[in-house]
Amino acid sequence: MKITIRKEEEKDYRRIEEITREAFWNLYIPGAMEHYIAHSIRKHPDYLPELSFVIELEGDIIGSIMYTRAKVVDSAGQEHPLISFGPVSILPKYHRQGFGRMLIEHSIDEAKKQGYNAIILGGFTYHYHPYGFEGSKKYNIAMPDGKFYTGIMALPLYEGALDQISGTVHFSEAMYPDEAGFAEYDATFPEKEKKVLPCQAKFEAAVSEIDTESYE
């Protein structure tokens, strides 16, 4: 079984968006928006092509990971640059076979080599704790509403990388594209049934869960 991880190229874009749509369909909402987010990220100055990869199995793309710039704004208004990743997408038939882990670990290693200081992201804790991510509360990094959520996690890429950084995290605007163009964009893909599923309610509950850990 030949597995290759390489940087995404322009010729890969549509295939990546197709995979992303399949991977997230009906997962967090009825339907999906993540393929539109992927499509929009590349047009934004916060897109980091040097950290955006595809994974191939026998020469066929089966997944991808994309990175964008993020920042923490401290109490004095000073901005501290960080990076973030997502969407991370694997074709559903290859889920739970370690391909997502390969992509994430490869990209983290590359981020370290390229001198980035820390990664911050939002997601389910059980997905990201194995890589060393911990609640951003540990580093006194809150969401813009001033609250600490269990699903907002950070990973220093070298010892002490977040010791002098605290404040509120601001993810790239690329992660929140104008939805006005979504329907037209999504219509270029095959029609799929949108469903209300229990996993969507679980996601809604998870994103609002307050972090009560002490991190002593």
Q: What is the mean pLDDT of residues 159-187?
A: 95
Looking at residue 184, its pLDDT comes to 96
- Please state the separation of Cα 173 from the chain's center in Å: 13
Average pLDDT over residues 4-17: 98
**What tokens does 144 get?**
């813009």
Q: Summarize the confidence of residues 131-157 as an average pLDDT.
A: 97
pLDDT in tens, 58-117: 999 999 999 999 999 999 999 999 999 999 999 999 999 999 999 999 999 999 999 999
Taking 90 as the threshold, does the pLDDT of residue 200 lie above it? yes
- The structural domains of the chain, ordered by start, are 3-207 (3.40.630.30)
CA–CA gap between residue 176 and residue 34 (Å, rounded): 10
Q: Whole-angstrom Cα distance, residue 4 to residue 138? A: 35
Residue 43: pLDDT above 90? yes
Categorize the per-residue pLDDT at 216 as very low, low, confident or very high, splitting at 50, 70 and 90.
confident
Phi then psi for 79, rounded to 5 degrees?
-100, 135
